[in-house]
Chain A
Amino acid sequence: MSKAEFIYMTVIAAPPEQVWQGLTTAEFTEQYWHATRVRSEFTPGATIEFLNPDGSAGVAGEILTADRPSELSYTWRFLRNPEAADDPASRVTFKLEAIGVGTRLTVVHDRLAEDSATATMVSFGWPHVIAGLKTLLETGTAVDFTAPEEADCPGQQRATVA
């Protein structure tokens, strides 16, 4: 097994079905996933794309597993960044387990080429995406994608503990 992989874990105070919707519905993803809208049929072999606000695909891949609401897996090509666009497709897997009234979400990103641009970028991106999903589902607060200096008073527009 290659060590060029990442494993992230969080517990979200929402049932697996809701977390699944958070991962697979454009209305949700655009609120926390770098403002992108996910588009896929979510059946094995179907394409999956994360569309930027301008309609271009930031990430594209193919669905490998779609076992609602417990496991979702797809290949991953990072088209958003020119340095990473030519990296071979990697793989991301979401495992959703019901615990109490919440969900333990494990995200594994593997099949990454060692020291590739994709590996570097996903390592910075995932913690924010996963934390954004958790915050959105628990508090209803979307991530503010406008830069802090563009907002009149960023402290008040950012997510507060709710």
Chain B
Amino acid sequence: MQPYSCIIKGNHLAAFYSTMDAVFKALADPTRRALLDRLLERQGQTLTELVDGLGMRRQSVAKHLAVLEAASLVSCQWQGREKLHYLNPVPIAEISRRWLERFSGQRAKAILNLRDALQEKEHE
């Protein structure tokens, strides 16, 4: 479950796949995506600030934040007794670069081919 334990053992590929599992699991929940959206709007929020307006119990929100933190999508910093939460989109960028782009690249190619084909027809 901890993506980075593989890196400590020196296996970055296993670590990458483990990161992907944790990130996609974390992103599969609408509340957790809403929490990321709120952090994108404003960085460095406390649990109390994040609970506000979500219509959920504090304890549930804390659990969701723990999942996001385990997937490294949220990083935290203590300021006195307050724990501030920050959006950490680095794992998403990494998955995008190393995995997702392979598919979107092909799709872009397919759309370009389609466009060319349609334009050719037009000229005929």
Contact = CB atoms under 8 A, between A and B. Distances in A.
Interface residues of B, number: 39
Contact of B109 (A126, A130, A153, A162): A153
Contact of A7 (B12, B75, B108, B112): B75
B101 A102 contact: no
Contact of B93 (A100, A130, A154): A130
Given A5-B43, A158-B102, A158-B105, A131 B94 contact: yes
B8 A100 contact: yes
A159 B75 contact: no
B24 to A, nearest CB: 15
Given A101-B8, A127-B92, A143-B97, A10 B72 contact: yes
A159 B97 contact: yes
A127 B7 CA distance: 19
Interface string A1-43: 1011111111111000000000000000000000000000000
B98 A161 contact: yes
B106 interface: yes
Contact of B98 (A130, A153, A159): A159
Interface residues of A, number: 40
Contacts of B13: 161-162
Nearest to A134: B94
Contact of B43 (A6, A12, A134, A148): A6
B105 A101 contact: no
Interface in B38-52: 42-45
B93 A99 contact: no
Contacts of B90: 8-10, 126-127, 130-131, 134
Contacts of B91: 10, 131
A135 B75 CA distance: 20
Contacts of B9: 100-101
Interface of A: 1, 3-13, 99-102, 106, 126-128, 130-132, 134-135, 138-139, 143, 148-149, 153-162
15 contacts: A3-B43, A8-B89, A9-B72, A11-B15, A100-B8, A100-B10, A102-B8, A128-B97, A131-B91, A132-B97, A135-B97, A138-B12, A138-B16, A139-B12, A156-B105
Given A13-B10, A155-B109, 16 more contacts: A3-B44, A5-B44, A8-B89, A101-B10, A102-B8, A130-B93, A131-B94, A131-B97, A148-B105, A155-B106, A157-B105, A158-B101, A158-B105, A161-B13, A161-B16, A161-B99
